[in-house]
Chain A
């Protein structure tokens, strides 16, 4: 191989590796923030509207203020401790090739304010890692889209499908 080709190869390779490493470090930083947001969101489930990750809409706020009038369909599985408008609906358990997947959604009025993972794929440490990595991303997407109709996370296709199917069943149950 000629000297120029060798130097070009080294230069090109080092450049893309440095860019990749830096981008990865930045992404890891963001992911850390994302998972902090999701765990703090999980900690404050009863008042879903107060979750830091989600911005309360006028509709949700008004539902929360009108606590006097009981919400019509908040029967089944409402945690209803401080806010009757905030309901928790448990999704169906979805079987995936990696094991069962189950999620619940917190709904304030007609708005999904949080998603929690109840059961995650557990076949081997790797699949748990996969769902740990995919869950915060999916949660974010579901909250943003206000539906389970979002893209699956690459590298966690089956876990994602299970997660989203469970969320969808919860949405159906909540008649959103």
Chain B
């Protein structure tokens, strides 16, 4: 343990706890407002239908079923567009919720959306069937013959494929690339479903508020994706001209990739954030990787550290010098900006050291504010030396927990430390008033979070970046 309080030339002025709290409250206000807007948008799609003639359609049985069918379709479409907005990596959404939470919501909306669209299909077939005295099969055939309906049915098929391959249990069976390519079908599904909304549905009726609403929502969703997932990364990648300068093996299966670039400070990344990297060699260009910076970038140099987890990351250890690199980002709220409380508690294991190292480097902390606990087996401690040096410079308490994991259900500490009664409470002074930043393997991270919650640490004080797709 070291407690150097000597000011460093590059030390940042610590952020006052009051302004941290203020910033947190502002973020929460924005989060609540955006959440309310998203829910209200679903209600608005129904309200607009009612406003433009829908309210009068409930009189007959066929009309009633048809109207409910139209409403489920509208709400389903609204949810799909909200899902696209969440996946568009819009900077405001990242700053307010963080992309990992936005994507968790995106995933959670997938099933409701598909159920609504299925209900839309079934109810309209039944409703139209009742109105024209046809059984559902005959009505389906008759609908198939309507203009733009075959495309809509095909879009529905794609959508089902996308949702099914995204179910956690199914998704695990596939490689990421396969899932990703299938997921691109969702754009096809959205586009093939569009024409029937024009011609058979009244969503885009000229001179109605519906038209204004739906066009605006489509522009926001598809435009957001074009701008923030395609155009902006492309422009940034060209502008900053990032290239690999060295690949350094720092532990078995762990490599630091050093890169050069232009005006990298202009990327505006904060320590703890990640970029999505694509290395343009013949074998790696088709796979992008979310990787945290393992050091705060200078204006011309940037470093990431990767562990070989899958096929793609294994190949990353062998990319040649001069390889061109394209980026998306920076993303994430695993930063100083996410802080809410007076103390900072950092817990990391394995490759999880990388974001916390950059976080600490970029944090405005007072001496004694920060406590660090690193966890690993006897033979693995890459980047710990850098972390210890940083801890000294920042006046942080520095602890390690080394050795095999304790036997027992949910322990995340070493057997030795568990035997000594080490706990979150004993390591971190004033734990309840701390922001806990956790990064490590998923199961281990979950164990730390569960432990923290058992001490009553509220959700907004727990920060964990999830890289799972």
Contacts and interface: CB of A to CB of B under 8 A. Distances in A.
A20 B33 contact: no
A21 to B, nearest CB: 5
B44 interface: yes
Contact of A98 (B146, B208, B211): B146
Contact of B50 (A23, A129, A151): A23
Contact of B54 (A2, A19, A24, A154): A24
A72 interface: no
Consensus secondary structure, chain B interface: helix
Interface in A9-25: 9, 11-14, 16-17, 19-21, 23-25
A152 interface: yes
Given A8-B33, A126-B128, A28 B47 contact: no
Given A124-B128, A154-B211, A24 B200 contact: no
Contact of B52 (A1, A2, A27, A156): A27
* Residue from A123, A151, A155 with most neighbouring chain B CB atoms (10 Å): A155
Chain A residues touching B, range: 35 or more
A23 B51 contact: yes
Contacts of A25: 55
A133 B54 CA distance: 12
B36 A5 contact: yes
A23 B132 CA distance: 29
Contacts of B147: 97, 158
A156 B198 CA distance: 9
Contacts of B210: 154
Given A4-B32, A24-B55, A155 B201 contact: yes
A27 B53 contact: yes
Chain B residues touching A, range: 35 or more
Contacts of B33: 8
A157 interface: yes
Interface in A47-106: 97-98
B138 to A, nearest CB: 10
Contacts of B203: 154
B66 interface: yes
Contact of A8 (B35, B52, B66, B198): B35
B207 interface: yes
5 contacts: A8-B36, A20-B50, A25-B55, A28-B53, A154-B210
Given A14-B43, A124-B131, A156-B202, 13 more contacts: A5-B32, A9-B35, A12-B36, A20-B44, A20-B50, A21-B47, A24-B50, A28-B53, A124-B134, A125-B132, A152-B206, A154-B206, A155-B202
